[in-house]
Amino acid sequence: MKFSQLSETLAPSEILKIGNRVKQALAGGESLYNYTIGDFDPKIFPIPGVLEEAIIGAYREHFTNYPLAEGNFDLRKSIREYISIFQDLHYDESEILVASGGRPLIFALFFSLCDPGDKVIFPVPSWNNNYYTHFVKGTAVVVDTREENRFMPTAEEIAPHLPGATLLTLCSPQNPAGTLFRKEELWQICELVVQENARRGADEKKLYVLYDQLYSQLIYGQGTHYNPVEIHSGMRPYTITVDAVSKSFAATGVRLGWCLGPGTVIEKMKVLLTLVGAWAPMPEQKGLAAFLGQPGEVALFLNRFRLSLHLRLEQLYQGIEHLKEEGYPVDAIAPEGAVFLSVKIDLMGQKSTTGVRIESAENLTAFLLREARLAVVPFYAFGSEGNPCWFRLSVGTSKLDEIDRMMDSLRQALDLFPAAMLEHSNEAYGN
């Protein structure tokens, strides 16, 4: 091995591989409906104007030196107020740690808690848990989620794995599924964690929950976002919540995240991150402190932002529902949160009129790209092997007036599989 065992064995990201294929097609002059990107087009979804102005203002006032290792006090104070007003979460400044986005915080948490061989439990499909587990040489315990549970893990599925585990990672709203924990579902998981910790001796490592709520402000319809600490009084010592401006404020490139947790864990993470130097830049910290200090502006931005994302997700969802009603072999889960729609294109094992047989999720992804000019991320890129017909469609770069054309293009591609349509209608009518 020429390099460290860690980097020699780090598998390339499936999501990036697919993204690169799409980039190549675009560079070759092909026109595509690109729903792969877990990012925002700033021309469609700019960051809040007040935040932008405040960041520029901070540069003009020469806030360009090192920030505090744990995040500037004024920023942690405004995060404290923001989470109290908008999320009913109550943490003081010493329980808040700021870094350059959600990723360094997740990284620091894994390294602060896990030793080689420690059990890390995570559901699939999910985002990047396999990589962080690999970093710490942990033992990955993968929980396969199911379509009927909207691809959210259940207490029943998690329970057998908890003895001896160090970390359980949960995410809601979920990337890739775009779905949320219901209160009762999350409570049941919390109760298991509390019971497991009660069984452990004083000198044993506790079981912690990494609660990734990067999409916490992007909730649609009648849905509600819940945090373990808010709904289960026993969860506070074991929950580390990670959040950021990246998704909720369309600010992926601003690089600002925070986590909330017990002071003891936060302190360990701080020491680690200080050496990595993953501070959020000083002017961004000043800008965000000013923006979060204006709850009226925050609410105004969020209401508009949610509305435009929901419009797109709903239009996509209705488009798929229409195709389904017409007998096409497709399905979707009603959008609940984040910027994603889960869509099923059930062509596995089918042969097209042009002689193409779909035998794997890779075949299906390539077929959609070639025939429908539709670029999407298959669930296998999120570690899920058992759902080869499911895809994530992301609306962060989608134009409203394009969705109908994309649906027509998908319909034409599906028309190449008349036998699949017949099978699907027979199933629908119980034949």
Q: Give min distance, CB of 252 to ligand PLP, in A.
A: 5
- Whichever of 127 and 391 has its CB closer to ligand PLP, that residue is 127
- Cis geometry, peptide bond prior to residue 153 (ω within 30 degrees of 0): no
For ligand PLP, which is the closer residue by CB, 48 or 101?
101
- Lookup: tokens for 120: 């890390």
Interacting residue ranges for ligand PLP, rule: CB under 6 A: 38, 101-103, 127, 171, 175, 212, 214, 244, 246, 252, 257
Shortest spacing between CB 102 and ligand PLP, in angstroms: 3
What value, to the nearest 5°, has the Cα angle with vertex 72 and ends 66 and 77? 170
Q: Partners of 219 in the beta sheet?
A: 337
Q: Which is nearer to ligand PLP, 132 or 328 (CB)?
A: 132
- Minimum CB–partner distance for residue 73 and ligand PLP (Å): 22
CA distance linking residue 66 with residue 68, whole number of Å: 7
Residue 246 CB, nearest approach to ligand PLP (Å): 3
CA distances from 4 to 7, 140, 174, 199 (A): 5, 20, 33, 38
How is residue 79 written in tokens? Answer: 């995060």
The CA distance from 164 to 174, in Å, is 26
Tell the smallest beta-carbon distance from residue 350 to ligand PLP (Å).
Answer: 32
| Exposed / middle / buried, residue 69 (Cβ in 10 Å: 0-12, 13-18, 19+) | middle
Considering beta carbons, is residue 186 or 413 the nearer one to ligand PLP?
A: 186
Cβ neighbours for 345, distance < 8 A, ≥ 6 positions apart: 329, 330, 364, 368, 389, 391, 414
Q: How far is the CB of 28 from ligand PLP (least distance, A)?
A: 27
Q: The tokens of 125 are what? A: 């499909």
Query: Which CB atom, from 276 or from 419, has the smaller least distance to ligand PLP?
Result: 276
H helix intervals, 205-244: 228-231
Cβ-based nearer residue to ligand PLP, 175 or 365? 175
Determine the residue type at 286: K
Rounded to whole angstroms, the Cα distance separating 365 from 101 reads: 30
CA atoms within 13 A on the CB side of 265: 29
Q: Distance (Å, rounded) from C-alpha 21 to C-alpha 270?
A: 38
Minimal distance in Å, beta carbon 243 to ligand PLP? 9
Sign of CA dihedral 295, 250, 108, 212: positive
Which CB, 174 or 365, lies closer to ligand PLP?
A: 174
**What is the nearest approach in angstroms of ligand PLP to the Cβ of residue 175?**
4
Nearer Cβ to ligand PLP (131/421): 131
Angle at the Cα of 151 (from 148 to 153), degrees rounded to 5?
A: 100
Give 109 or 406: the residue with its C-beta nearer to ligand PLP.
109
According to DSSP, the residues that pair with 122 across neighbouring strands are 142
- Residue 242: CB minimum distance to ligand PLP, A: 7
